[in-house]
Chain A
Amino acid sequence: GAVVSQHPSRVICKSGTSVKIECRSLDFQATTMFWYRQFPKKSLMLMATSNEGSKATYEQGVEKDKFLINHASLTLSTLTVTSAHPEDSSFYICSARDYWGGSSYNEQFFGPGTRLTVL
């Protein structure tokens, strides 16, 4: 099946620094990638939808200047958490949708997630 990688898997940073998280589709092309945030034992919260070659669409309440998303190619999207604060600590998960998918064209393939801890 389709594989999505995410890097790094864990990151600990100091308050005020920026952290970049990469999401790659390894064996398929993804015109659309999604970024989610998940709190412990909670549901997925969609942060933004990233389309290759265009600006990301952010969900209500998500600061676009704080969570910078770049989708430069059909296999790579990045999320940068700028000026991170302890409240940004969370599990960030990306997913990708297969460009050529058939009947399951809407299926999302998830990366393993990135655990961010801001001290």
Chain B
Amino acid sequence: GQQVMQIPQYQHVQEGEDFTTYCNSSTTLSNIQWYKQRPGGHPVFLIQLVKSGEVKKQKRLTFQFGEAKKNSSLHITATQTTDVGTYFCAGSGAGNNRKLIWGLGTSLAVNP
């Protein structure tokens, strides 16, 4: 079945360093979403990418959707302690199937 792989599983960085998490789907996606879950909290929607090659920015966060719509990345520039949490990607299949297939998440720890 359709799978979404996400790497790395864990990442420790020093505050101020950059961070990137990658998602790869076994099949072409109609869109991909990114969520952030703070420790002890619930996932919160960050963004949705729909177009091939799309790049979107939210302050220090840059999201990319691959040309083939099978991979995506989230890059954080100059991490801060507030960036701590787990970042999930979730891809939606093509056609009328809007079920999200979730990556396993990348847990980010930021040392002050």
Interface size class of B (residues with CB under 8 A): 20 to 34
Q: Which of B12-20, B43-51, B73-81 contacts A (4 or more CB under 8 A)?
A: B43-51
Cα A49 to Cα B43 in complex, Å, equals: 17
Contact B45 A112 (CB under 8 A): no
A contact residues, total (Cβ < 8 Å): 20
Interface of B is mostly: strand
**B109 CB to nearest chain A CB (Å):** 12
Contact A107 B103 (CB under 8 A): no
Contact B43 A93 (CB under 8 A): yes
Known contacts A106-B33, A108-B45, A110-B43; is-contact A44 B102 (Cβ 8 Å):
yes
Contact B92 A106 (CB under 8 A): yes
- Measured CB to CB, the nearest residue on chain A to B45 is A107
A43, CB-defined interface residue at 8 Å: yes
Contact B45 A109 (CB under 8 A): yes
Which B residues are in CB contact (< 8 Å) with A111?
42
Contact B88 A44 (CB under 8 A): yes
Contact A107 B33 (CB under 8 A): yes
B84, CB-defined interface residue at 8 Å: no
Q: List the 8 closest A-B pairs by CB distance, nearest first.
A: A43-B104, A110-B42, A43-B105, A110-B43, A107-B45, A113-B42, A44-B102, A112-B42
